[in-house]
Amino acid sequence: MKEILQRIHAESKHASAHGSVASYIPALASARPEALGLAAVTAEGKIFAVGDARTRFTIQSISKVFALAYVMTELGEDAVFSRVGKEPTGDPFNSIIRLETSAGRKPFNPLINAGAIVVSGLMPGFSPEDKGARFRAFVGQLIGRKDVERDEAVYLSEKGTAARNRSIAWFLKELDLLPGEVEETLDVYFRQCAVSVDAVDLARAAAVLCLDGIDPVRGERVLEARTARVCKSLMVTCGMYDGSGEFAVDVGIPAKSGVGGGIMAAVRDRMGLGVYGPALDDRGNSAAGLDALRRLSEELDLRVL
């Protein structure tokens, strides 16, 4: 497995040249565009990592999967899906148009910004700091680390440049979908997006999903099976922004990306995969990460669809 990852890492690095790092959050612009890390955690609990797999980066939209799992665990499935749908949009992740034009008058799914902000508003806790700390503790259970941190610079950068997310949140408030104050809810959302991980962490979490809630490294259940299955289903249909359909056809693995350059992918009963490549394509997905996952899927016959 290590040799396969090393070869695909070498073959996929060139794809970074076809992307660029995110700059709409200023603190993300300092990432090395040529960086690429690949990690895999097998169903037997073996960990493999190559390249920049131990480079820390912010989780960004991948946090939406963890937030969904967290709120479902704490409050139940109905608490989420009474306010958020389960359908793909085909629109960019930060689009606002569907909130106004859809008959349901609620976000289409929890993996677009509008839906994720609603989920963030449901997190238990007494303050944004407390809610953020509880969320990080939950992420730590999934990835096997107790020292999960927030990148303060990215958090403050995102908080200071989030005009579109503020527009979305105020619209959600008008629709009576946010139980708390708008700015406090957004603060929780910015904190969750700024959680710092590496590709191995993502592979660890993906391995939990691939085994329907069992951590293969520790041999313990850390997530309910139903919660893991809901997350994976939404990752298939909505996890790669408006490129989700193409990814499902080309790669065929449940996956979730983030503009920090990460991709988390879960191969049922076989392995979890984590990718870091901060040069993004025009949809916000890691250019080299997409290339590597396509190659891995073909090489190892990982397709589950």
**Would you list the DSSP string of 211-256?**
TTTEETTTTEE-S-HHHHHHHHHHHHHHTTGGGHHHHHHHT-S-EE
Residue 220 CB coordination number (10 Å): 12
Q: Which residue in the list 106, 189, 276, 297 is annotated as catalytic? A: 189
Let me know if 61 is a catalytic residue.
yes
Going from the C-alpha of 292 to that of each of 8, 56, 110, 180, 282, the distances in angstroms are 6, 19, 26, 41, 17
Residues 6+ apart with CB under 8 A from 94: 112, 113, 164, 165, 168
257 flagged as catalytic: no
Cα separation, 92 vs 87, whole angstroms: 14
Q: Is 241 labeled as catalytic in the residue annotation?
A: yes
Rounded to whole angstroms, the Cα distance separating 195 from 139 reads 9
Which single residue is written with the structure tokens 């303060």? 152
Spot the catalytic one: 71, 119, 148, 259. Answer: 259
In angstroms, rounded to a whole number, what is the distance separating the alpha carbons of residues 123 and 53? 30
Q: What are phi and psi of 150, to 5 degrees?
A: -105, 140
Residues 6 or more apart whose CB falls under 8 angstroms from that of 92 comprise 241, 242, 283, 284
Catalytic-role residue among 70, 155, 241, 276: 241
Structure tokens belonging to residue 208: 């939990």
- Per-residue DSSP letter, 27: G
How far is 172 from 233, CA to CA, in rounded Å?
A: 24
From 50, 64, 236, 286, the catalytic residue: 64
Give the residue numbers annotated as catalytic, written as ranges.
Answer: 61, 64, 189, 241, 259
